[in-house]
Amino acid sequence: MDRYLVKTDCINCYAREQCFVQRIKQVDEFLNLRKNHITYRKGETIVKEGTRVTEILYVIEGLVKVYIEGPERNIIIKLLTSHDFIGLTSLFGDDTFYFSASALRETKVCSIERQSIKNLITQCCEFSRELSSWYCENYNIMLTKCLNLGLRQLHGKLANTLLYLNREKFKTADLFEYITRKDLAELSGIAMENVVRILSEFNNDKIIELKGKKIEIKDLERLKIISHMG
């Protein structure tokens, strides 16, 4: 096992200044609670579909893919970076992971007892508002994913994926250093050979520019039209 673990609390955490705990300083019980920092190597599974949720994971740094495993291929639901959570949907529902998550690069997470997060929601209005915002954002991501998989054609599916990867939260993540063409296929719900073919077409049409593994959007408006038209 490649991962390693460090026990800490919020008071002594090196990542505290960038963490959500900056907005909950008044809840001393949570800040003093012991937590685990776990480092996962590239390719290592962080959570496995079908297992029980006992802790909520907060991504300190790194890049994570969240996916559903299929008989022939996986579907990547979303990507996570710093300040994202894993497992929040279990707080007031079934305590089972309905997805898997793995590290696309070395990733550090903070493992927090599930019940302590539930307690924090009732004690801290700021945190409750943050979680509400998180749920709204992820609900919209799920709706878009359903639309992408069910209604869009191949070009529209890949265009939508490229727009998703162009979001501000991914701008500093050097995504294409870690995302493969197979990952693009699983994000889009299409075969990898179609990803390669359509990327070449977009490149020839000067909608994008291919620079090795990197994909740079050159004509954002045309890409949006292709995504919208499906």
Q: Note the pLDDT tens digit of each residue in 143-170.
A: 888 877 777 899 999 999 999 999 988 8
CA dihedral 130, 135, 137, 143 (to 10 degrees): 180
Residue 59 inside a domain? The answer is: yes
Check: CB of residue 192 under 8 Å from CB of residue 185: yes
Q: Which domain holds residue 33?
A: 4-136
Label residue 56 left, alpha or beta by phi (over 0 means left) and psi (-120 to 50 means alpha): beta
Residue 146 inside a domain? The answer is: no
Per the document, the length of the chain is 230
49 with 75, same domain?
A: yes
50 with 119, same domain?
A: yes
Judged against a pLDDT cut of 50, whether residue 182 lies above it is answered with yes
Most confident among 80-94, 168-182, 207-221 (mean pLDDT) = 207-221
The whole-angstrom separation of Cα 138 and Cα 222 is 26
What CATH code is carried by the domain that includes residue 174?
1.10.10.10
| Domains held by the chain: number | 2
0.85 surpassed by pTM: yes
- pLDDT for 15-27, tens place per residue? 766 677 666 665 6
